[in-house]
Amino acid sequence: MQNSIQIGRLFGIPIQLHFTFLLVIPLFTWLIGSQIGISLSFIFELFGEFNPALILAYPYLFGFLVTIGLFLGVLVHELAHSLVALRKGVRIYSITLLILGGVSSIEERIPDPRVELPMALAGPLTSLALGILCWIVVAAGVAFLPPTPLAGALFYTVGYLAVLNLMLFAFNLLPAFPMDGGRVLRAWLAKKMPLRRATKIAADVGKAFAILFALFGVLAFNPILIIIAFFIYIGAGQESTVLRYQILLKDLTVGQVMNSPVMTVPPDLPLPRLIELMYTTKHLGFPVVDRGAIVGMVALADVQKSTPVDREALLVKDVMTREVITLPPEAPLIDAFRLMSGRQIGHIPVVENGEIRGIVTRTDIVRVMELQEI
């Protein structure tokens, strides 16, 4: 993921910290430290009273310890997803910790409920187990250990983590994408119906939850709920769109869809001539070829960056994009689609053995999807 630093590897999986995570550590430390009295009386209520001297003396130190403990809990949760995925033969690229928890970057493939169900359940169940374990430690400690300040500090930190891990468990089991519960629901539905219908239903349930969250957030003046609602709504929509593309473009290669032969332009073609060519051919992007080799791509967007007056004097090589992304004919079409969406480009030249074979455009892909849907 972009804007992340790698801090190490666990089980061969790179572990990364997103910059939002680094912002959230001082924020959580401050939130917990400044409200230490409230959390302390809540934990007293759950487990019985213990010696709070050390905690009240260093509230921000314990705010920091609880924050670190929370993110260790998130990391273990994500690792649980990843380890089940690895055992099922799915590739894991990385785990990133960021503002609202963790994200595992998992190989994209059409979901199989037999893989997705255990993978999605592994995270929340691990959080549940961690929560129960912390709970037992504190309950036993309060009952059997002498009430020293040090023991009190341990009970507060671990008791807080018991509550947080149980919240992670419950929150992630909400039946809404991008939460684990959305995947559990989809996998369960997919055993009874086609995957696309299962995804559609799961996404609709997610959207309904998002709307409920937002309403509740507005009524309770709770901005965090509104932000969460927003993420759920977007996540639900994305999940069904991505799946639709994956299914429609399955088994197709770039070579099957590309336009060939492809019209190219030389680097020293004047821009007015290029614009004329766009008018006559109705093509809005051309590979720029110099002595048989691709040296750039020029598209309408590149022309638009110059003013109409400048255009009279400019050549193709002055405005073209020099870093050309190309694909071989045998590349899956979904790769072309991902590259276009990720980098905001509309044309990808298809190159084999250094020679240009054709060009694939976003319009071509959209047309193929429409045809696949009949």
Size of the site for Zn ion (CB under 5 A): 3
Region binding Zn ion by CB under 5 A among candidate stretches 129-137, 177-185, 219-227, 332-340: 177-185
The residue annotated as part of the active site, out of 78, 116, 276, 352, is 78
Rg (C-alpha) for the chain, rounded Å, is 27
By beta-carbon proximity to Zn ion, the closer residue of 79 and 257 is 79
Please give the residue whose beta carbon sits closest to Zn ion in the complex: 123
d(CA 313, CA 273): 11
d(CA 228, CA 241): 20
Region binding Zn ion by CB under 5 A among candidate stretches 40-48, 117-125, 261-269, 355-363: 117-125
Tell the smallest beta-carbon distance from residue 100 to Zn ion (Å). 11
Tell the smallest beta-carbon distance from residue 136 to Zn ion (Å). 23
Region binding Zn ion by CB under 5 A among candidate stretches 115-123, 147-155, 159-167, 316-324: 115-123
Tell the smallest beta-carbon distance from residue 269 to Zn ion (Å). 53
By beta-carbon proximity to Zn ion, the closer residue of 172 and 361 is 172
With H, G, I as helix, E, B as strand and everything else as coil, classify residue 181. helix
Exactly one of 33, 73, 111, 123 binds Zn ion (CB under 5 A); that residue is: 123
116 is catalytic: no
Q: Are 298 and 285 in contact (CB under 8 A)?
A: yes
Q: Are 289 and 266 in contact (CB under 8 A)?
A: yes
| 180 binds Zn ion per the rule CB under 5 A | yes
Full DSSP string of 122-166: HHHHHHHHHHHHHHHHHHHHHHHS---HHHHHHHHHHHHHHHHHH
Region binding Zn ion by CB under 5 A among candidate stretches 10-18, 86-94, 171-179, 261-269: 171-179
Tell the smallest beta-carbon distance from residue 55 to Zn ion (Å). 30
**Distant-in-sequence, close-in-space partners of 293: CB < 8 Å, separation ≥ 6:** 354
Tell the smallest beta-carbon distance from residue 26 to Zn ion (Å). 25
The pair of three-digit structure tokens given for residue 161, joined into one six-digit string: 């983590």
By beta-carbon proximity to Zn ion, the closer residue of 123 and 358 is 123
By beta-carbon proximity to Zn ion, the closer residue of 165 and 172 is 172
Q: Which of 277, 357, 359, 267 is nearest to 320 (CA)?
A: 267
**Distant-in-sequence, close-in-space partners of 285: CB < 8 Å, separation ≥ 6:** 297, 298, 299, 300, 346, 347, 359, 361
The pair of three-digit structure tokens given for residue 37, joined into one six-digit string: 């009295």
List binders of Zn ion among 21-40 (CB under 5 A). Answer: none
Full DSSP string of 285-311: EEEEEETTEEEEEEEHHHHHTS-HHHH
Q: Are 62 and 153 in contact (CB under 8 A)?
A: yes
By beta-carbon proximity to Zn ion, the closer residue of 173 and 333 is 173
d(CA 201, CA 306): 47
By beta-carbon proximity to Zn ion, the closer residue of 32 and 122 is 122
| 116 binds Zn ion per the rule CB under 5 A | no
Region binding Zn ion by CB under 5 A among candidate stretches 39-47, 167-175, 208-216, 290-298: 167-175
**178 Cα distance to chain centroid:** 9
Residues that bind Zn ion (CB under 5 A): 123, 172, 180
- Catalytic residue positions? 78
